[in-house]
Amino acid sequence: MTATTPGFLYPCPNCCQRLSSSRNLFGKRVRCLKCQTVFVIAEPPSKEKSEANRVPPVTPAPPVILEQRQKQQTESRPKLQRSLPFISPPELQVKGESTVLFCTLAVAASIFLFATLTTALVFGLLVLIAYFGIKSHQADLRRTAFRVTAQTAPEIDALIQTAARRLTMPTPELFIVEDRELNAFATGFDGLGTVVLNSALVKAMSSDELMFIIGHELTHIKCGHCKYSAFTNATVGTIVNHGIALLTDMIFKLWSRKAEFTCDRGGLVACKRPDAAMSALAKLENLDPVEARKYIDRAVRSNPSVDDWFATHPDTNNRIAAIAHYAKTRDYFCLQSLWES
C-alpha cells in the first residue's frame, strides 16, 4: 500500500516495521511494504496516541554525557572473571608427572656433580703427578749432573749470583749436563727452583751471552712459569673433547710465547748488554759469528712475522727485534739503573 497523507502510525505484527495510514483504513486489510505481510488494523488509534507514536527527532547527547553513560554501562557490567572458579595445575596434571620431573632433575644434578668432581679429581691428580715428577727430576740432577758452586765452577757461579742479584731474587741451584744440543731450561714447583745448562751451550756462549741465558731462565722461576706450566698441562690433559683440548692448548701456547718475551727482558736486565742478548739468540740459529751478525741485522730491520700457533717459543727474529726495541725504552733504563755493577 501507499500512504500519501500520514494519519496515524502502527507497527507491522511480523517485522515491526512502522507504517502510516489514514483513519479510514480501520478494520481493513493492509499489506506491509517491507515483509509483504497482510494483516487487519485492529483498532483506530486516537489522536493523542497518534501524536505519541510519532518518532521524535533524535538530538545527539553532548560528548561529556556520552562518556558518563559509557562509564556507567561499563561499571554496571558483571565481572565474569571473578565469578569463574579457579583451576589449579594439580587438577590437570596426570598422576606421577611431578614425581618424574623431580627424579629427572635429581638425576641431571647427580650427573653434573659427578662430572665436576671427576674433572676436579683428574685435574688434581695430574698436578700431583707433575709435582712429584719435577721433584724427582731435581733429585736426579743432584745425583747425576754437575752442580755449579763457587768451588766447582767459580766463573759460572759468579754469573748466576750476579744475575740473581740484579733480578732481586734468591739464587737457585745451577747444574750442567752433558748434551750437544744448545739448550737450557728451568724447573721447580716450589722452593728456589733449578736451572740446567747443556754443556754445548756453555762452550758456545761468551760470558755476557751466558749471563743473558741464565737471566732468562731465572726469570722463568721468578715469574712462576715452571709452576704454571704444570697447571696448564694438567688442564689440557683433563679435557676429554679433542677439539676443546686443542683450542685450550693453543691458548696456553700463546701464553708460553708471551712468557718467553718476558724472560728475554729479564735476561737483558741481568746481562745489561743488548748486543750480547741478541747475539746469544742468533747463535741458537747459527754458531758462525759472521752469519749470526747478519741474522741480527735482518731481524732488526724486518717486520715481525707471525708465530706458529702451536709453538712454545716465538720466532727468533721476533725475539731479537723485541730485545732491540725494549733496550730503547724508559722501562729498561729504569730497571738497569737499579744496579751499577
pLDDT at 269: 94
Asked whether residue 320 is assigned to any structural domain, the reply reads yes
41 vs 159: which has the higher pLDDT: 159
240 vs 279: which has the higher pLDDT: 279
Q: Which residue has the cell 565469578?
A: 83
The pLDDT tens digits of the residues spanning 28-65 come to: 777 887 787 777 776 655 555 555 555 555 555 566 56
Quick check: 38 and 30 in contact, CB under 8 A?
yes
Smallest CA-to-CA distance from 146 within 178, 185, 176 is with: 176
- Tell me the torsion sign for CA atoms 111, 117, 121, 124: positive
Quick check: 256 and 319 in contact, CB under 8 A?
no
Mean pLDDT rounded to a whole number for the chain: 84
142 and 26 inside one domain: no
Q: Which residue has the cell 489514514?
A: 22
316 and 192 inside one domain: yes
pLDDT beyond 70 at 284: yes
Can you tell me the mean pLDDT for 126-148? 91
Q: What is the dihedral of CA 41, 47, 49, 55, to 10 degrees?
A: 100
Asked whether residue 72 is assigned to any structural domain, the reply reads no
Quick check: 220 and 186 in contact, CB under 8 A?
yes
316 and 202 inside one domain: yes
323 and 223 inside one domain: yes
Can you tell me the mean pLDDT for 142-166? 95
13 and 144 inside one domain: no
pLDDT beyond 50 at 211: yes
17 and 132 inside one domain: no
207 vs 98: which has the higher pLDDT: 207
Number of domains composing the chain: 2
195 and 323 inside one domain: yes
Give the DSSP letter of residue 241. -
Asked whether residue 253 is assigned to any structural domain, the reply reads yes
Asked whether residue 58 is assigned to any structural domain, the reply reads no
Can you tell me the mean pLDDT for 115-144? 89
pLDDT beyond 60 at 16: yes
Note the maximum CA span of the chain.
Answer: 152
Q: Domain containing 227: what range?
A: 119-336
pLDDT at 182: 94
Asked whether residue 310 is assigned to any structural domain, the reply reads yes
142 and 21 inside one domain: no
Can you tell me the mean pLDDT for 237-247? 84
Q: Which amino acid makes up residue 322? A: A
In this prediction the pTM is 0.69
Q: How far apart are CA 257 and CA 259, in angstroms?
A: 5
Q: How many CA atoms lie within 13 A of 157 on its CB side?
A: 10
40 and 157 inside one domain: no
Asked whether residue 54 is assigned to any structural domain, the reply reads no
The pLDDT tens digits of the residues spanning 302-316 come to: 888 888 788 889 999
190 vs 277: which has the higher pLDDT: 277
Q: How far apart are CA 21 and CA 5, in angstroms?
A: 7
The pLDDT tens digits of the residues spanning 175-195 come to: 999 999 999 999 999 888 999
38 and 168 inside one domain: no
195 and 289 inside one domain: yes
Asked whether residue 231 is assigned to any structural domain, the reply reads yes
Cell numbers describing residue 271:
746481562
Asked whether residue 66 is assigned to any structural domain, the reply reads no
25 and 144 inside one domain: no
